[in-house]
Structure 1
Amino acid sequence: MTTDNPIQPDVPPSGPGCVECLDGSGWWFHLRRCAQCGHIGCCDSSPSQHATAHWKETGHPIIQSFEPGEDWFWDYSSEQAGEGPSLAAPDSHPAAQGVPGPSGFVPDDWRTKLNR
């Protein structure tokens, strides 16, 4: 396996939620999965935008939605949506996990804190 390939189908996700938000008691709107290393980060509408920060830090350009029922890919380097192979399970956060999440960390006024 080469780490130069931007899509590594056999790499599992790093967990059920945004790594940095969970480590820092933050919250997210939607989740994105790095197709190369499995890192789960929060989307650009989320306050901390950890998925994009992961790309800028690592150079891993391709993400997939980590939302139930979604399987689209995005390439940060070309700014284009696309398709890709099935990635290692699970393919989304747990369906019982609310949006936004995680439960207990989302402020009541969360809608006013989203990036538009």
Structure 2
Amino acid sequence: MNCTHLDHAGDMPLPAELFCARCVEAGQHDWVHLRMCLECGNVACCDSSSAQHATAHFKETGHPVMRSAEPGEEWRWCYVDEVLG
């Protein structure tokens, strides 16, 4: 499948400090992995984490593409087309 969201997603560097701000605000530090929105740079926890803030960010904003924020990983995910890129 050709995903235009992945094709047009920009790239941005990962922030120096990586954490899920919404988890920290809730007093949680138990996220599994982190993801970064490629539209606004929001960093949030993945779907394997109990709070699933990255998916919540997509549902709230409609920002379609995120990337892994894990060291050494560069893959992307389009929420709209459910395609890995």
- Provide the secondary structure at the position in 2 that maps to 1:53: helix
Q: For 1:1-116, list aligned pairs within 5 A.
A: 7-10=9-12, 13=15, 15-26=17-28, 27-82=30-85
**TM-score normalised by length of structure 1:** 0.60
**Larger Rg computed on CA atoms:** 1
Does structure 1 retain, via aligned residues, the 8 Å contact 2:12–2:38? no
Change (3 A) 1:65 1:53: same
Q: What percentage of aligned pairs have identical amino acids?
A: 48
Counterpart Cα distance in 1 of 2:62 and 2:20: 18
In structure 1, runs of 5+ residues without a counterpart are: 1-5, 83-116
User: Paired residues, what number?
Assistant: 77
Q: For the Cα contact (< 8 Å) 2:14–2:69, is it kept in 1?
A: no
Instruction: Indicate the structure with greater strand content.
Output: 2
**Counterpart-to-counterpart distance in 1, 2:39 and 2:78:** 12
Distance 1:77 1:49 in 2: 17
The DSSP-based 3-state class of the residue aligned with 2:58 is helix
- Post-superposition, which runs of at least 4 consecutive aligned residues in structure 1 deviate over 4 A? 10-15
Which structure shows the bigger proportion of residues in helix conformation?
2
Instruction: Give the alignment's Cα RMSD to 1 decimal.
Output: 1.9
